[in-house]
Amino acid sequence: MTTLTETSVAGNDDRRDDHNNTNGHKLMVALDVDGTLVDHDGHMSPGVRESAQAVVAAGHEVMIATGRSLNATLPIIEKIGIERGYAVCCNGGVTLRLHPGLEGGYEVIHKATFDPGPALRALRERLPSAKYALEDADGNFLSTERFQDPSFGVEAVGVDFHTMLEATAVRVVVFSTENTPEEFNEAIEHVGLAGVTYSVGWTAWLDIAAAGVTKASALENLRGRLGIEQHLTVAIGDGRNDIEMLTWAGRGVAMGQAPEEVIAAADEVTHSVFDDGAAHVLRSLL
């Protein structure tokens, strides 16, 4: 793993030349949102926005790959100015095709759903005071305990737990304000979730998707669709839900503030989100 400095980001690292667009090849660039393109207050700096726009303008396949749901992802796509191409939402659960000729500028081309019942029952037994939210196959959010979050993109509808068990899910979120992250992790490990894919966030937060579904699995499907070679893929992320994506990419870059296990999965480390780390990497692609 290489730690990026101002000099190496600028492209003076010999190894970096192998990854950059030195031969005019089109790159596939996957960008996480929270903690990568925007800080934890949801702010995107002008430097990050302009560098992302420059990579789009250069003709590369730039795509958002986020745990956010569709309606929370669209404003980021618009801010960067991606009108054509693809985007991955819900940690790989939903894939969009973007085109200005489509109604709203996009269409859903893939959606991975699953039965959330077994995981929810097991978690509820171990984490009875946690808050639960679920995105259904129609893009609606159902939640217990008045659970709302900006990553949902829509206002969640309050339901009882039994109603949630009967839904078909694209994404399930579990959040606990009464457990430390360590206690939360211990509870999840004790449950031994099966038949789903899950990732734990920075706090006592859990994202659940269908078995085998990750940002990486959705991106690999798009890579095949676009016919882009593996070594021409780049990914930038900061969360545990980015680990598979960073491992998948020909050039996986972790943000400077990422947890140790995320950094270990990456090829490089850039600056933190507060120091425009994503902008440094994006500029190195030009």
Q: Nearest to residue 278, comparing CAs of 65, 1, 51?
A: 51
Q: Do the Cβ atoms of 100 and 83 come closer than 8 Å?
A: yes
Beta strand spans in the chain (E): 2-3, 28-31, 61-64, 85-89, 94-98, 106-111, 131-136, 141-143, 157-158, 169-175, 196-200, 205-210, 233-237, 251-254, 268-269
Quick one: pLDDT at residue 254?
Answer: 98
Is the model's pLDDT at 230 over the cut of 70? yes
pLDDT digits (tens, 9 = 90+) for 31-70: 999 999 999 889 999 999 999 999 999 999 999 999 999 9
Task: Please count the other Cβ atoms lying within 10 Å of the Cβ belonging to residue 240.
Answer: 18
pLDDT by residue (tens digit) across 10-32? 333 333 334 444 456 899 999 99
pLDDT higher at 32 or 5? 32
pLDDT of residue 268: 97
pLDDT of residue 228: 97
Q: What percent of the chain has pLDDT over 70?
A: 91
Rg (CA), the chain: 19
Across 63-81, average pLDDT: 95
Of 10-14, 109-113, 141-145, 241-245, the poorest mean pLDDT is in 10-14
Would you state the pLDDT for residue 262? 95
Compute, in degrees rounded to 10, the torsion defined by CA atoms 243, 136, 140, 236: 10
- The residues pairing with 200 across neighbouring beta strands, listed in sequence order, are 206
Read off the pLDDT band of 1 (50, 70, 90).
Answer: low
pLDDT one-digit tens code per residue, 156-210? 999 999 999 999 999 999 998 888 777 888 888 888 887 788 887 767 888 899 9
Q: How far is CA 244 from CA 27, 47, 115, 236, in A?
A: 19, 27, 23, 11
Structural domains in the chain plus CATH codes? 2-112+214-283 (3.40.50.1000), 117-210 (3.30.1240.10)
Segment 117-164, tens digit of pLDDT: 999 999 999 888 899 999 998 889 999 978 899 989 999 999 999 999
**Considering only 3-7, 29-33, 58-62, 238-242, which range has the smallest mean pLDDT?**
3-7
